[in-house]
């Protein structure tokens, strides 16, 4: 099933209405769809390099909007949200997350997790729904989503624009590992800054 969906998304990247399909995929991927929009971004930018900023904005805006949908699924449609969480193997972790969120350290930990989910290959949709389920602050959720999703999609769009097929081959072989490592480094730097500020309070 996943291979078929992956191939379908690749086909849509070459469609004359590819930007509309990119918006749809970006939106639904943030709440339940398993294929990330990066699959479409790379070939679309390579074929239309002058549109790389437009493709970046479309992907980011609709991805965050889809994330807000995921948040509301978690907040107001508990049973449906739980089914999606269970499908990705995260439902049993919710109670522990909600308990830890009460402390300030738990709050900042969830910020880091949200950033990683938006930036790395972690299933972002799981954490959009979980944020609604645990009652995480919506405005902060939207802010972190814009930062993490925007940074990820800008990097993918810009490097596709700059290096074309070379970057496409790199993404096929090392993309997931590279985004995970960079995302972890950013979070570690954030933690160090937080601990340093906390020690001076």
pLDDT digits (tens, 9 = 90+) for 176-198: 666 666 667 766 766 665 555 55
- Rounded to an integer, the average pLDDT of 26-35 is 88
Closest by CA position to 168, among listed 38, 42, 35, 36: 42
pLDDT of the residue at 166? 81
| pLDDT tens digit sequence for 87-100 | 776 666 666 666 65
pLDDT of the residue at 94? 64
pLDDT of the residue at 187? 65
d(CA 95, CA 92): 7
d(CA 198, CA 201): 5
| pTM reported for the whole predicted model | 0.83
pLDDT of 76 above 70: yes
pLDDT of the residue at 192? 61
Of residues 192 and 166, the one with the higher pLDDT is: 166
135: left (phi over 0), alpha (psi -120 to 50) or beta: left
pLDDT of the residue at 167? 75
Q: How confident is the model at residue 62 (pLDDT cuts 50, 70, 90)?
A: very high
pLDDT of 1 above 90: no
- Rounded to an integer, the average pLDDT of 141-160 is 92
Closest by CA position to 84, among listed 30, 151, 145, 37: 30
């Amino acid at each position: 099933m996943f291979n078929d969906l992956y191939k379908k998304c690749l086909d849509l990247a070459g469609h004359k209405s590819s930007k509309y399909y990119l918006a749809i995929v970006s939106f639904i991927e943030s709440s339940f769809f398993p294929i990330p929009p990066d699959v479409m971004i790379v070939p679309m930018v390579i074929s239309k390099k002058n549109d790389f900023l437009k493709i970046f904005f479309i992907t980011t805006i609709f991805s965050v909007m889809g994330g807000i949908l995921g948040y509301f699924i978690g907040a107001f449609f508990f049973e449906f949200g739980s089914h999606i969480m269970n499908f990705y193997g995260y439902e049993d972790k919710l109670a522990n997350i909600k308990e830890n969120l009460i402390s300030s350290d738990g709050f900042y930990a969830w910020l880091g997790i949200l950033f990683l989910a938006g930036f790395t290959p972690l299933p972002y949709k799981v954490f959009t729904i979980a944020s609604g389920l645990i009652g995480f602050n919506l405005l902060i959720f939207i802010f972190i989503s814009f930062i993490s999703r925007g940074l990820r999609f800008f990097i993918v769009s810009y490097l596709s624009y700059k290096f074309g097929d070379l970057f496409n081959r790199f993404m096929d072989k090392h993309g997931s590992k590279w985004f995970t490592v960079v995302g972890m480094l950013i979070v570690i730097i954030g933690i160090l800054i937080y601990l340093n500020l906390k020690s001076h309070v």
